[in-house]
C-alpha cells in the first residue's frame, strides 16, 4: 500500500511538471494571438476571484455564513469567466486557474453543507467540524493554479503541523463510543481526502510518504 501511494504521488509530480511545460508552450501562442486588453481584464477578474476565496481558506475557522453571502456572486463570476475563457483555447494558464477556482468553490460549498449537519457540542461533532474545516484550510497551501505553493511562508511548518494534528484527531475519533455509522463514513472519507492532499504537499518537501 505504501509503495502504491508513493507511486501515485510520483506520477502526480511528473504530471504537474509536464502540465507546467504544456501551459508555458500554449501561453506563448496565447499572448501572440489573443486580445491583450481582454487577457488583462480576465487576469484581473481571476485575481479578484482567487483573492476573495483565499480569504476563506486562510482563516483558522471556516466562515460558512460569510462564504454564503458571496457564494452566488462567486458562482456567477466563474460561469461568466468560463464563457470568456472558452473562446481563448490557447490560453491554458487561464483555463487552469479557472478550473482551480471552480474546485475551491465546490470544496467550500460542500464544507458549508457538512458543517450544517454537525453543530452540536458532542465530541464527534467537534471532531467532524475539525476535519471538514481542515479540507478547506488545505486549499490555502495551493497557488492560483492549484499547485502546492512551496514558496508560501510557513509552508513546511503548516504541512507538518496538519499531518500531526490530523493523526491526533483520528486517534481521538477512534476512542469515541457509539458513533453513528454514517458519521464514521463521513469522517474517514474526509480524513482520507485530507491525508492524500497532505501526502502530495509533503512530497514537495521530500517527506517520505511511509512516514505519514
Check whether 134 has a pLDDT greater than 90: yes
Distance CA 126, CA 180 (A): 14
Distance CA 102, CA 70 (A): 14
- Whether the model clears a pTM of 0.85, i.e. scores above it, the answer is no
Residue 27 has a pLDDT of 63
Residue 200 has a pLDDT of 94
Average pLDDT over every residue of 32-38:
73
* pLDDT tens per residue, range 163-187: 999 999 999 999 999 999 999 999 9
* pLDDT tens per residue, range 147-167: 999 999 999 999 999 999 999
Distance CA 196, CA 193 (A): 5
Distance CA 82, CA 102 (A): 10
Distance CA 134, CA 130 (A): 6
Distance CA 156, CA 205 (A): 7
* Block residue for cell numbers 474526509: 190
Residues 106, 154, 211, 17: what is their CA dihedral angle, to the nearest 10 degrees?
Answer: 60
Would you say 129 and 115 are in contact if contact means Cβ atoms under 8 Å apart? yes
* pLDDT tens per residue, range 64-90: 999 999 999 999 999 999 999 999 888
Amino acid at each position: 500500500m505504501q509503495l502504491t501511494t508513493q507511486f501515485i504521488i510520483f506520477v502526480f509530480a511528473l504530471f504537474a511538471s509536464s502540465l507546467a511545460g504544456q501551459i508555458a508552450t500554449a501561453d506563448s501562442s496565447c499572448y501572440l494571438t489573443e486580445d491583450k486588453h481582454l487577457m488583462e481584464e480576465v487576469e484581473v477578474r481571476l485575481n479578484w476571484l482567487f483573492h476573495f476565496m483565499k480569504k476563506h481558506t486562510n482563516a483558522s475557522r471556516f466562515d460558512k455564513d460569510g462564504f454564503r453571502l458571496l457564494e452566488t456572486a462567486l458562482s456567477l463570476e466563474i460561469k461568466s469567466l468560463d464563457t470568456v475563457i472558452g473562446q481563448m483555447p490557447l490560453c491554458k494558464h487561464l483555463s487552469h486557474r479557472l478550473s482551480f477556482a471552480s474546485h475551491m468553490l465546490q470544496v467550500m460549498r460542500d464544507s458549508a453543507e457538512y458543517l450544517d449537519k454537525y453543530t452540536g457540542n458532542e465530541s464527534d461533532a467537534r471532531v467532524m467540524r475539525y476535519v471538514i474545516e481542515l479540507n478547506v484550510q488545505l486549499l490555502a497551501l495551493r497557488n492560483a493554479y492549484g499547485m502546492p505553493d512551496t514558496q508560501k511562508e510557513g509552508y513546511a511548518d503548516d504541512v507538518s503541523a496538519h499531518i500531526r494534528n490530523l493523526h491526533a484527531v483520528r486517534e481521538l475519533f477512534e476512542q469515541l463510543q457509539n458513533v453513528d455509522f454514517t458519521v464514521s463514513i463521513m469522517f474517514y472519507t474526509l480524513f482520507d481526502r485530507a491525508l492524500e492532499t497532505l501526502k502530495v504537499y509533503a512530497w514537495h518537501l521530500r517527506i517520505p510518504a511511509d512516514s505519514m
